[in-house]
A and B are shown apart, each in its own frame.
Chain A
């Protein structure tokens, strides 16, 4: 009888995991569903107050203080993550993970109800557990795992972090180390640092061992747990190793130059006993050794890789891999996005979503090259191992012009597969404009017939040496350039198949006419402080930000004060809007009711949009979230989304004593030195960014740093000025 509700629950979950068929051709990012959990709506300060009740009253005062500090910081920081738009709940992946949790904790209803698992949309390979029972599993990790049992082992490991309060204990211990107290007394900083890593590794090993005990209570295969360490060892590589050749781009006319392809790629060099002295996690060998005895002691007979139907896992894994395509583009990791989509294409060659991902990756990389922009996470091809190295090499070595030609070729082909996609057309237009304006190319520069000469054969090194014999450096470079731009250069045959396509010809000639009209290339985004006149009557205010920093305090970030001030900021925005007779709608995660999951998803989409847009900086790349923005535009009856924020600083005075001492050398300066010492120094930055959902660009970027504390009048005068610029209609010409 007791099992009956569990069976019903299981069936219910099975239905819930894939409530709808997934449209892989038009794949959309993971979205939350159902009621919003309290984790997302409760104020961080309330969570902090609840957490404080756990403080050990019998502990020493300084330990109690450290624990208090932990509850304050952790709750606010974790809430930042939960509200980042990257964490989803009620989605197929989270639902699936929760069913694994139910399997693992079948006999522990108490723990089962305390642990909440959410999916973290991130390509990194990781899992996190908070002190109050939230477990976040990244899509990057799920994309790499091989079966349900491996996921179950990861969850078992994470549950131990929660059960044994590793986060809290780790924080207290780290503070002890930082202060050089107790057993850390008289140690040099290097030793303390190593002790810190050692302590972290001990917690990880303990979680592995204890996690395995919990894991073994279920019917999951213990061999899979052991194999999980191999998966982790190679997790820095893409989820599959498939060779990438130039045939991917080539056809009968266009044969990409072999000089952009490596003869051999670097071998995979991962070893399991790497030096982990400065790592928070033990090396794979140590982790495997810690559990091997226990694994070998148990009989794997009858144990399963999948307790739920295998298709569920396959579907969830595929979902995460598709999701990672979006995330890589979102992070401007073009090579990884390309590689991820390429690998997925091996099993679904004609998938239009994957073609669009590759188009976007090529388009983004081309514009980044042309604007000389690099991302924070650029990886040099020599640092890449395995088959993926070929893609990095191609992206790195192919010159701008040829890469832009290649990108346009692929984008146009994708456009022909889905002519309704407005983003593909826009990307083709951008690339054509780049070719015509930046590289001064016209339609006549491309061949429209005839087979290319034999440029596809890579010349042996001896031949090249022979050709260059007796030439100096400049001559060699010039010869190479001439060959690249010769009349028979391979890239001139990129569009042979499209030259009879009127739309394609119009695309090139259209870009040419824009050149004549003096416009064309998208303008780099303006950052000056001119007054804007946007003529907006209605706008959506997205997650206002309030950050308060007081450098004179031991804990400079004033979390609690900022949360309250953020609520007041919202009231100020509203009063300014009222004064301007402007309609506004708020989207703020902490002010949502639990049935407003739709708004939660909208906020996530907007957060992802702005994070990508800021990443692009001044490169006018079409944001991968633009389509979602256009959807939101229709929904909120306005295309204008504004991010408004206030950051308040109280600066720490430097060299105060020195100034006073120096002033005694010249007494008239004494009052000034005293004033400098005792008059506090404040700064308040008020900023806004307004996005236009239709064009997918920022239409306003404004910031003002005021030499003052964050007085209400200072905030209001600035917010009013910002909103007035939004409201004021441009003068008619």
Chain B
């Protein structure tokens, strides 16, 4: 249903756009691959990467409206979750959890016409985006023997690992157009992504591990989206 709503939202702008909208030489629909990257420090140095495919349409001389699909892919490093006692021995999961899933957004890209003279879709812009995503945690690498006490090693998390997140993303950047077709986009973004749904709803298991997982996953997701640098390409289609 939500996919349908997003598509409908984007189409709404497309069909309502009037003939006076200039676009670039009359063309207003642009497709982008705009990956977001940022240096991650915690839990170990590396790079966060989020694939981002978007499309927008120029609806006025300074505004383009569109939507995007983002592929969320990050991990919770060295997670430890305790399961039940089986015959006096505790079940323990130790290892990395991969968080994966799609996120969808709708956005308005505001080109600075009055202040800086840019006409959509070329030039400096500010982008305001409402994002909704869902992700599932899957066990990835298992850590060996970190727990000295006798225990039963769990290979899978025994609780619901599917959660959702939603929030607001502000981006700024610049789109330069070459050969009348090819966009090069640069910029950065700041996002506030928060967990959605009831904190207690749907929790299974005991001992609060699922709650811990949820908190860890939400924190990870928050950090994953928080600051990003965007460097991408695009194509002016229609």
Contacts and interface: CB of A to CB of B under 8 A. Distances in A.
A725 B20 CA distance: 7
A24 interface: no
A575 B118 contact: no
B116 A717 contact: no
Q: What is the predominant secondary structure among interface residues of chain B facing chain A?
A: loop
Interface in A695-727: 704-708, 711, 713-714, 716-718, 720-721, 724-725
B231 interface: no
A720 B25 contact: yes
A162 B73 CA distance: 78
B24 A717 contact: yes
B122 interface: yes
Nearest to A576: B25
A704 B19 CA distance: 21
A717 B119 CA distance: 7
Contacts of A567: none
B26 A713 contact: no
A274 to B, nearest CB: 51
B202 to A, nearest CB: 45
A437 B177 CA distance: 53
B124 to A, nearest CB: 7
A533 B61 CA distance: 14
Interface in B138-186: 176-178, 180
B26 A720 contact: yes
B159 to A, nearest CB: 44
B208 interface: no
B117 A705 contact: yes
A720 B122 contact: no
Interface string A568-589: 0000000110011000000000
B23 to A, nearest CB: 8
Nearest to A705: B117
A707 B115 CA distance: 9
A704 B118 CA distance: 9
Nearest to B175: A713
Interface in B78-125: 112-113, 115-119, 122-124
A576 B117 CA distance: 19
A561 interface: no
A706 B118 CA distance: 6
Nearest to B60: A531
A728 interface: yes
A652 to B, nearest CB: 20
Given A713-B176, A713-B180, A728 B19 contact: yes
A85 to B, nearest CB: 30
A580 B26 contact: yes
B122 A714 contact: yes
A707 B124 CA distance: 9
B22 A720 contact: yes
Contacts of A531: 20, 61
Contact of B22 (A708, A713, A721): A721
A721 B61 contact: yes
Interface residues of B, number: 21
Nearest to A722: B22
A725 B61 CA distance: 11
B22 A717 contact: yes
Contacts of A576: 25
Contacts of A706: 116-118, 123
Contact of B25 (A704, A705, A716): A716
A531 B61 CA distance: 10
Contacts of B19: 728
B169 to A, nearest CB: 24
Nearest to B123: A708
Interface string B5-27: 00000000000000110101110
A725 B21 CA distance: 10
B63 to A, nearest CB: 14
Interface in B1-49: 19-20, 22, 24-26
Contacts of A704: 113, 117, 119
Contact of A718 (B26, B116, B119, B178): B119
Contacts of B117: 684, 704-708, 718
Contacts of A575: 25
A580 B115 CA distance: 27
B116 A713 contact: no
A131 B119 CA distance: 45
B176 A711 contact: yes
B19 to A, nearest CB: 7
A713 B178 contact: yes
B62 to A, nearest CB: 11
Contacts of B118: 706-708, 714
A713 B24 contact: yes
A33 B19 CA distance: 45
Interface in A464-480: none
Contact of B116 (A580, A707, A711): A707
A724 B19 CA distance: 9
A707 B178 CA distance: 18
Contacts of A711: 176
Given A575-B25, A576-B25, A706-B116, A717 B20 contact: no
Contact of A533 (B20, B26, B112, B123): B20
Contacts of B180: 713, 716
Given A707-B116, A713-B180, A724-B20, A579 B124 contact: no
Contacts of A580: 26
Contact of B123 (A714, A725, A728): A714
Interface of B: 19-20, 22, 24-26, 61, 112-113, 115-119, 122-124, 176-178, 180
**For the complex of A and B, 4 pairs with smallest distance between CB atoms:** A706-B117, A713-B177, A707-B116, A721-B22
23 contacts: A533-B20, A579-B26, A704-B113, A704-B117, A705-B117, A706-B123, A707-B112, A708-B117, A711-B176, A713-B24, A713-B122, A713-B176, A713-B180, A714-B118, A717-B25, A717-B122, A718-B119, A720-B24, A720-B25, A721-B22, A721-B61, A724-B20, A728-B19
